[in-house]
Structure 1
């Protein structure tokens, strides 16, 4: 089948030895705590990996193309070589900052402050005990004082993966949710990456993506979990067939003002899938494909963001595009526009320039995989689609951006 052929092509493109030593950094966060009235700075936090064998870390960078210091890094916090910080998150009240990591301690709370000029400054990072759980991926903070974290590596087994439940007040690990596919091939957790929660319905969903070494195993499902009991309710196929190795990477349970659907992106499938909520069963019905990336020459579907106007932004790492859809008539998706970023288009933040232009900044890098690792951040005017500025972190600093977040609270809309 086509996806299997694409997967074989992918394996031919990349050196397996190279892949075996790379862990998978994608992204993630929920942002129900986004406040559209919050005045955001035009400086942003980025997680980064070093290209020269030096320490990986977090940095503060100016991203307003109209600013004289556009593209300049004003503060850095080193976490250590090989830590590979993965994604930045604020807690529910936006008064604590965290980063997940693929190595090191897998999860850190980050202390920040303002310098004498009122600019954001990185101070320190405190490791958080994740127990046996490895390869930190996405976080989701709930209103009841918990947060959940996906661990793609689980305890390190071949078909492993877990979800950690933490106390958001003291960062203590409360429970590890495990459900090996070996125990029940119909309901399981394996290689979880994406996570989303609908608290009103008491439901959580996680994706089954790919083994951390990128070669030992591939997922093609999403699993629904009871938010109170942590029992698995159902595992859904998110692929054309049981043998289609689509690798769902992000999931979004629409909630609040939005129609009650689950959306999922498939990394290797290059598609967008949807499942309606069923009030009778109190679960979601089967997933169906609503956007086929291959028909548009698109692949490696990654992140989803929804703004306050029912617009869905989806990044496609290959060839580096952000598609903007109208979701006001789900399950129908209406394509509104296509924004051009760089290869590896991944995470996004939304803000206004000092002159009031509404822009999206796109972080362009996926795993430092060849042809998906531009190492740039593109700042694009949403209305016109014009690229107002590009920062090349690879050539300027010898680093690659892994994720991006605001310095004055979340700078994106609903994300997970």
Structure 2
């Protein structure tokens, strides 16, 4: 009889192999694992960019920025990513050139420093959002603006040399049953050969709203199905992130709805090779929550979901899907958004929560909260608005991805 490791054990082993920095804060191999990259928006009329910030509340340098790289006025860098083997760093952007590869180095003390940014040609694709890197060297990027049309949106496919090799477009006007519009979230299951993107909102945040997710073949780029992720066809829920659970996780798709404020779920159907219909698994409004945004999984296999209103992170158990069991609620600030996990100097397991969503009123605290994931205690808060005149837009580890799985 074969002995099978429990999923939680496999999560931890895989995470350690992929990015050891998250579990090595107490030794000298990774002395700067509490330093993080953040994208930022300049509030004082200057250039937006990316910075390195210390986030260990036990450090005397807590909240200090040690390196900064300006990208340009109006660039609005948005999401930071490592490529598949975590050797290259990228940031997407809502303006500017929409996609940049970031060159980093280390100073004489071994601390990460930002050197330069290389703009990548995205062709006709505008308003860069999310990226997914695959093992064959490709990466897929959602462009919420597409080529600028009223109901536009596209997926760019790039090779390892940062060359755009394909633009996937499927206008709703051509086929109202299978389409790509305002794509934001993206997730891929390479074993299944499937990719899913969400339909969120027009880049101007007023001209159009989505309420679907679309499934594609990641190799042929063929659209397989567009799913309603809303209470009705007229409910403009704006799905923002999608996560195809894979590997040892139960085989489901999860989606958060920005304006719906909910979490939705769809089971994978082996016979059809697609997912079944989405159903609501968590109603945020019934809990006084709105603007469900990001989904992260930590080394313990727990799902963390940020709710920008009123600024909370909910932690769920994934072991009994489709039942999503709420384990705890962590306090953050209005605009709770991206997250990164690490250990403090004394070994406390914490999550850093970036609190700002596009500088929207009442969702733009401009802080980063550091919260103990076991006790729920807020150990420290950095106010970048008052301290630096900037708003944090996203966050990522400097020694590799600051999470086990994001999308």
* Pairwise same-fold verdict (TM > 0.5): yes
Q: Does 1:196 align with 2:196?
A: no
Provide the aligned C-alpha RMSD in A: 1.2
Matched, 1:141 2:124: no
Q: Of 232, 240, 243, which residue of structure 1 is paired with 2:234?
A: 243
For residue 389 of structure 1, the aligned residue among 369, 380, 385 is 380
Task: State the secondary structure of the residue aligned to 2:285.
Answer: helix
Show CA shifts across 1:77-98 (max 9, x none).
0000000001100001101000
Whole-angstrom CA distance in 2 between matches of 1:224 and 1:367: 27
Q: Which residue of 2 aligns with 1:10?
A: none
CA contact (8 A) 2:15 2:299 kept: no
Shift of 1:36: 5.2
2:237 and 2:287 map into 1 onto residues whose CA distance is 17
| Aligned residue number for residue 297 of structure 1 | 288
Equivalent of 1:351, from 329, 342, 345? Answer: 342
**Partner secondary structure for residue 193 of structure 1:** strand
Match of 1:311 in 2: 302
Q: In 2 relative to 1, CA 241–33 (structure 1 residues): closer, same or farther, beyond 3 Å?
A: farther
Given the two structures, how large is their TM-score scaled by the length of structure 2?
0.93
Query: Paired residue for 2:51?
Result: 59
Maintained 8 Å contact 2:57/2:380? yes
Tell me the CA shift for residue 277 of structure 1. Answer: 0.3
SS at the partner of 2:351? Answer: strand
> In 2, are the aligned partners of 1:34 and 1:410 still within 8 Å (CA)?
no
Distance 2:219 2:35 in 1: 38
CA gap 1:173/1:220 in 2 versus in 1, 3 angstroms: same
Distance in 1 of aligned mates of 2:155 and 2:133: 13
Identify unmatched segments of 5+ residues in structure 2.
Answer: 1-13, 25-29
Report the count of equivalent residues: 385
Query: 1:275-297 deviations in whole A, cap 9, x for unaligned?
Result: 00000000000000000001110
Report what 1:5 is aligned to: none
Summarize deviations over 1:43-95 as a string: whole Å, max 9, x none.
10000000111000000000000000100001000000000001100001101
Residues 80-120 of structure 1: CA distance to partner in whole angstroms, max 9, x if unpaired? 00000011000011010000000000000000000011111
User: So what's the TM-score if we normalise by structure 1?
Assistant: 0.91
Q: Which residue pairs with 1:37 in the alignment?
A: 20
Q: What is the CA-CA distance between 1:35 and the residue it aligns to? A: 2.7
Residues 36-45 or 340-349, more deviating? 36-45
State the match for 1:285 in structure 2: 276
Contact 2:19 2:399 in 1 (8 A): no
- Does residue 124 (structure 1) correspond to residue 116 (structure 2)? The answer is yes
Alignment counterpart, residue 205 of structure 2, candidates 207, 214, 220: 214
The answer on 1:401 being equivalent to 2:392 is yes
Superposed, 1:45-84 pairs within 5 Å as: 45-84=37-76
Aligned to 2:323: 332
Q: Give the equivalent residue in structure 2 for 1:9.
A: none
Equivalent pair of 2:298/2:341 in contact (CA under 8 Å):
no
Task: State the alpha-carbon separation in 2 of the partners of residues 294 and 415 from structure 1.
Answer: 24
Give yes or no for contact 1:33–1:94 (8 Å, CA) kept in 2.
Answer: no
Q: Does 1:174 align with 2:165?
A: yes
Q: Output the CA distance in 2 between the equivalents of 1:334 and 1:305.
A: 15
In the TM superposition, residue 309 of structure 1 has moved relative to its aligned partner by 2.5
Give structure 1 regions of 4+ aligned residues with deviation exceeding 6 angstroms: 31-34
The answer to whether the 8 Å contact 2:210/2:238 transfers is yes
Query: CA shift at 1:33, angstroms?
Result: 9.7
Measured in 2, the distance between the counterparts of 1:32 and 1:303 equals 19
Shift of 1:145: 1.0
Indicate conservation of the 8 Å contact 1:33/1:92, yes or no: no
Partner of 2:172: helix, strand, or coil?
Answer: coil
The question of whether the paired residues in 1 share the 8 Å contact of 2:305 and 2:314 is answered with yes
- Give distance in 2, aligned partners of 1:140 and 1:310: 20
> Which residue of structure 1 aligns with residue 88 of structure 2?
96
Per-residue CA distance 1:98-145 (angstroms, 9 max, x = gap):
000000000000000000111110000000000000000000000011
Q: Which has the higher contact order (CA 8 A, sep 6+)?
A: 1
